[in-house]
Amino acid sequence: MALEEKYRVERAKWDALAPMDISASMLMPPTANLETYAQRSSLFVGVIEFLGNLRDERVLEYGCGLGELTTLLAKSGAKVTAFDLSPLSVQIAHRRAELNRVEAGVNLVIAAGEQLPFADESFGLVFGKAILHHQDVNVGWPDLYRVIKQGGRAVFIEPMGMNPILNLVRNQIPYPHKHPRGADRPLTYVEIRGWGGAFTQFLYREIQLLSMLERGLGFQKRIPQLRRLDALLLERLPWLRRYCRYVVMYFAK
């Protein structure tokens, strides 16, 4: 799919999913920040440790959506620039930052990840959740590399696309909180390595094998036994890693 057509499809999808308004229910507790959020999420494996102290750091967030993580980054003390392709999503992200009184530390931009409107080496840290799989890796990785400072770091949490059963579920079977498919394509190892190939350091870790079943329960129930079994299987049978639901990617320039 050509980039402009992909942008049209994705913009329409996320504009349609954005709620018409938000309420005080989007207010966060005073102590909420990215670290407290990560402690409750099974996806943020090593993220906080790799990014380090966020206070006064210039952080770029890829694909901010409705701004939950944008606000959490700002509540962690970061100076956040965030972008999204969806104008309605950016509008709501701005309102969320206002509700939580961190708008002074947040700059929101409507943009595409393959065409970043930022100067070279603008950011010491970059973060994104479920955004790279919406982009063309061959067009997108040079801009990612370009905007990170020398010595800077980035972390992305992305869905993987090499489990045929999982792909069938994604494409055909309804489950709680499922978004409609747009032009996104979960990552293969070719794409994962394509994003990281130019960096001085690039590591990735596959996560959620059996524990992906929690997703089918609508995130309402955590099953520690599945997570412990995941850790055992992925260590002893590394060939199973390609069938995981998510990958965490760590970059250093």
| Residue 229 CB contacts under 8 Å (≥ 6 apart), including other chains | 210, 211
Half-sphere exposure at residue 159, Cβ-oriented, CA atoms within 13 angstroms = 15
Decide: helix, strand or coil at residue 69: helix
Query: Residue written as tokens 């992909």?
Result: 6
Q: What is the pLDDT of residue 220?
A: 59
**Residues of the chain where predicted confidence (pLDDT) is lower than 50:** none
b/e sequence 202-216, b meaning 16+ C-beta within 10 Å: bebebbbbbbbebbe
Q: What is the pLDDT of residue 219?
A: 60
CA distance 122 to 197: 20
| Residue 235 CB contacts under 8 Å (≥ 6 apart), including other chains | none
CA distance 47 to 209: 19
Compute CA distances 33 → 41, 194, 227, whole Å: 13, 31, 25
Report pTM: 0.92
CA distance 147 to 149: 7
Q: What is the CATH number of domain 3-161+180-206+245-252?
A: 3.40.50.150
| Residue 50 CB contacts under 8 Å (≥ 6 apart), including other chains | 153, 155, 250
- 189-246 tens-digit pLDDT: 999 999 999 999 999 999 999 998 877 665 656 788 888 999 999 999 999 999 999 9
Q: What is the pLDDT of residue 20?
A: 61
Query: Are the C-beta atoms of residues 59 and 73 closer than 8 Å to each other?
Result: yes
Percent of the chain beyond pLDDT 70? 93
CB count within 10 Å of CB 26 equals: 16
Query: Residue written as tokens 């999808």?
Result: 13
CA distance 23 to 184: 29
The full set of domain ranges for the chain reads: 3-161+180-206+245-252
Compute CA distances 66 → 70, 139, 152, whole Å: 8, 25, 26
Concatenating the DSSP letter of every residue in 15-55 gives HHHS-S---GGGPPPTT--HHHHHHH-TT-TTHHHHH---T
Q: What is the pLDDT of residue 68?
A: 95
Query: Residue written as tokens 């990612």?
Result: 144
Beta bridge partners of 247: 158, 206
Residue 63's closest CA among 127, 117, 142? Answer: 127
CA distance 53 to 58: 11
